[in-house]
Amino acid sequence: MKIGFIGLGNMGKPMALNLLKDRHEVIGFDTVSANLDGISMATSAAEAAIGVDCVITMLPNGVILQSVADQVLNNMTKGAMLLDCSTVDVESARHVAKLAEAKGIIPIDAPVSGGIGGASAGTLTFMVGGSEEGFTKAKALFEVMGQKAVHCGPSGNGQAAKICNNMILGATMIVTCEAFAMADKLGLNRQAMFDVVSTSSGYSWTMNNYCPAPGIGPTSPSDNEYKPGFASELMVKDLQLSQKAAELVDADTPIGQMALKLYEEFVFDEDGDGKDFSAMLPRFEKRSRY
C-alpha cells in the first residue's frame, strides 16, 4: 500500500519503519523534523495524504488528531482509510470518524498496547473500532505492525477498550505495589510473596509479567532503576481519558478515580515524572498509613 504516516515520535517511527521494511511505500510527516531512516518526508500533513491508500496517525492527543484530520481529509482519495493508532478520548475518535465517513473515507480507531518495544518488534496489539470492511482492509497493516488485532465494534470502541484495559492496569499496579510494601512491613520475604501471589488468586499481569519489585520475577523496569517501560505520565494520560469517558456515560468508577488521583500526585507533586509506572512500589515503601 501507499501510506501517509503522520506523527513519527517514539511509537510512530518504528511502526513506519516496519511498514517500510515490508515494502509498503511510506511518506511521513511530523511537526518536528524526524531522523528519516529511509522514509521520505512530506512538507505538511495535507501533502502526506495525497493519493495514498491509508493515512496512519500516531499523535499525542484528541485535539491534535482532530486538527490533523481537518488537514488531511480533503486531500484523501475516496475509499482510502484513516487509521488512527494514537490513544485519544472516545469522543474525538467518534467525531473524526463522522467527518471521515462524510467524505467517503473509511475511519478506523486502533490504539495499541505493547509500548515502544512492541512498536519496534512489530508485536503490538491493536484494539480496533470501525466497520467490518475497515477492519478487513487494515488487517494486512496490523499484521506488519503487530501480533494481534481485535475488532471491538463500531468507531470509538477501540479507544473504549484501550482505556478500560489501562484503568485495570493502573489500579492493579497500585494494589500490587501497596501489597508488596505492606508485606515488607509484615516481615514477608518478597520472593515468597511473589511465589505465592503469582500462583494464587491475587495473580495479575502486573505481578506475573511486570513485577514491580527489583530482582523478583521476570526482568522488568524495576530491574533497571524504574526507567520506563511505560512512563507514569502516560498512565496519568490514560487514566484521565478513562475518567473523561466515565463522566461522558455516567459510569461509577471509584477505583479508576482513585488510581488517577494517586498517579497524578505521583507525577505532579512527588518524584514520579519520567519513572516507570511500577515505581509506585518505592513510593509506597517510603510512606506510612497516615
Burial class from Cβ neighbours inside 10 Å (0-12, 13-18, 19+) for residue 32 reads exposed
| Residue 200: other Cβ atoms inside 10 A | 9
Cα separation, 151 vs 130, whole angstroms: 8
Cβ-based nearer residue to ligand NAD, 11 or 267 = 11
Residue 122 engages ligand NAD in binding (rule: CB under 6 A) = no
Residue 222 engages ligand NAD in binding (rule: CB under 6 A) = no
Cβ-based nearer residue to ligand NAD, 105 or 276 = 276
Do the beta carbons of residue 108 and residue 138 sit within 8 Å? yes
Which of 13, 162, 237, 275 is flagged as catalytic? 162
Residue from 1, 4, 5, 8 touching ligand NAD (CB under 6 A): that is: 8
Cα separation, 66 vs 94, whole angstroms: 10
Residue from 1, 3, 11, 110 touching ligand NAD (CB under 6 A): that is: 11
Cβ-based nearer residue to ligand NAD, 179 or 222 = 222
Cα separation, 151 vs 279, whole angstroms: 33
Cα separation, 184 vs 48, whole angstroms: 54
Burial 54-64 (b: 16+ CB within 10 A, else e): bbbbbbeebeb
Residue from 56, 58, 81, 100 touching ligand NAD (CB under 6 A): that is: 58
Residue 49 engages ligand NAD in binding (rule: CB under 6 A) = no
Cα separation, 106 vs 137, whole angstroms: 10
Cβ-based nearer residue to ligand NAD, 130 or 221 = 221
244 is catalytic: no
Residue 276 engages ligand NAD in binding (rule: CB under 6 A) = no
Residue from 51, 60, 153, 218 touching ligand NAD (CB under 6 A): that is: 60
Residue 194 engages ligand NAD in binding (rule: CB under 6 A) = no
Cell of 24: 509498503
Cα separation, 12 vs 58, whole angstroms: 5
User: Angle at Cα 252 formed by Cα 251 and Cα 257, nearest 5°?
Assistant: 110
In this chain, which stretch among 97-105, 111-119, 127-135, 269-277 interacts with ligand NAD, using CB under 6 A? Answer: 111-119
Residue from 3, 6, 56, 80 touching ligand NAD (CB under 6 A): that is: 6
Least Cβ distance, residue 124 to ligand NAD (angstroms): 8
Q: Which residues ranging from 67 to 106 are in contact with ligand NAD (CB under 6 A)?
A: 67-68, 86-87
Cβ-based nearer residue to ligand NAD, 108 or 197 = 108
Do the beta carbons of residue 154 and residue 128 sit within 8 Å? no
Contacts to ligand NAD by CB under 6 A: 6-12, 29-32, 45, 58-60, 64, 67-68, 86-87, 112, 115-116, 230, 234, 237
Which residues have a catalytic role annotated?
Answer: 162
